[in-house]
Amino acid sequence: MARRGDPPEGTPEGLPGGEDEYRSVVFDESFVRAARVQEFSAEERMGEHAPAVRSVPGGGRSPSKQILLLVLVVAVAFGTAVYLGIRQPHQPPAARPAEQLRITLVPLAPQGPVPGGTPTELFAHSPAAQYRSGAAGITLPAVRRTAHFTEGQVLIALATAKDYLVESSLDPDVLTGGVVRPVRALLHPDQLAQFDRSMAAPTADGRHVAAGWLVRFDPSKVALADPTVRVEGTLLVTEAGADALEVTSDHTFVYALRSASTAGPVSDEASLFTVRREMRFRVDRDDLRHHRLEVQASAVQAGPQDCASDATGTLQPLLASRRSGTDGPAVTDPYAPGPAVAALCGALSPEAQPSP
């Protein structure tokens, strides 16, 4: 017989609400305390505007922890993207290492006694009479942008080449003082070992001749009779590809020299010594930023000096009234335009000497 409140047919089987459905569920104290929402007591609900339920703290993650987790996920994703970007196989190739400098030195032997006189007289009666003095003789050409370099970058390449020529050909401390730091500071780091060996242990191997890098004389034998050097020549810049510029220089430097010692039979008169330097420089984008260059080739003609003298470390000028013990096979004029003649020794053209 059905109880009061039950349906006339009794409780249907299989439908919610049966007594057996929740018989296994025990709502003990720990279950109630773990609930996220709890109902207020009757006394608490009597208060004005009191809500029916309250939230129980301590369940789930706090908003600050969720934000921290989100930031961590974003940071990991960003770091992964950066790592994968670095590991991509299509990155630009590493910078090309600098080549070793190739050097050619041709001594020019006089065909008679070396003319002597005062520096003013000698310059006035030589092919260098109209040459400019010092760095003013190293003029820059008109600067134009190239396919891959701006006008400013081309100017920097030319200015760096000029600085190298000034430091290595005109600085009195380099010429007769044995100083090399101003020249070394302008070189590509890959060439420093070759440069240092050329200065410390020069050899006639076409790679380690000091005159290929700079002009210098033995201060125990030679002194500058006039600190002003006469210079004339050209600079030319072209592209050596999309990543580098090539600067070529062809300059003739004329020095007034005298003996470093007043004792002995050597004349106190000055004499002229001519050095023609044809050089090729390479300047890449990294060199432009660091104000440096790579010296790729250096061809030097220098005289008057004896072809039998050892000029690998310092040039060996023949001073006023001196004669050469050897004659060069071909007459060479270091003032003449055009490419230098490749030879082991040359005869200094009389036209390259000051007239009587």
- pLDDT for position 264: 44
Closest CA to 105 of 209, 199, 10: 209
Q: Decide: 166 and 277 in contact? Cβ < 8 Å.
A: no
Residues 6+ apart with CB under 8 A from 35: 56
Residue range 195-223, pLDDT digits in tens: 999 999 999 999 999 999 999 999 999 99
Average pLDDT score, the chain: 83
- pLDDT for position 98: 83
- The pTM of the full predicted model, rounded to 2 decimals, is 0.73
Three-state secondary structure call for residue 297: strand
- Residue with more model confidence, 235 or 16: 235
Lowest mean pLDDT among 133-137, 226-230, 333-337: 333-337
- pLDDT for position 330: 72
CA distances from 299 to 150, 158, 228, 250, 280 (A): 30, 19, 23, 9, 9
Checking if the pLDDT of 249 tops 60, the result is: yes
CA distances from 178 to 56, 183, 229, 324 (A): 87, 11, 18, 26
| CA–CA separation, 263 and 221 (whole Å) | 11
Residue located via tokens 């409140």: 5
- Residue with more model confidence, 65 or 292: 292
Checking if the pLDDT of 137 tops 80, the result is: yes
Name 63's bridge partners. none
CA distances from 143 to 146, 161, 241, 248, 289 (A): 10, 14, 18, 14, 18
Q: Name the pLDDT band for 325 (thresholds 50, 70, 90).
A: confident
Mean pLDDT of 57-76: 67
| CA–CA separation, 315 and 278 (whole Å) | 16
Q: Name the pLDDT band for 331 (thresholds 50, 70, 90).
A: confident
**Residue 314 is inside which H or E element, if any?**
none
Mean pLDDT of 180-189: 98
Lowest mean pLDDT among 6-15, 123-132, 187-196, 328-337: 6-15
Residues 6+ apart with CB under 8 A from 110: 303, 304, 318, 322, 323, 324, 348, 353
**Residue 251 is inside which H or E element, if any?**
strand 244-259
- pLDDT for position 9: 54
- pLDDT for position 89: 46
Checking if the pLDDT of 55 tops 60, the result is: no
Residue range 21-52, pLDDT digits in tens: 555 555 556 655 655 555 556 665 565 555 55
- pLDDT for position 92: 45
Mean pLDDT of 176-185: 95
| CA–CA separation, 303 and 115 (whole Å) | 12
- pLDDT for position 7: 52
Lowest mean pLDDT among 4-13, 78-87, 202-211, 290-299: 4-13
- Residue with more model confidence, 69 or 102: 102
Mean pLDDT of 282-307: 96
**Residue 31 is inside which H or E element, if any?**
helix 29-34
| CA–CA separation, 324 and 309 (whole Å) | 10
- pLDDT for position 345: 81
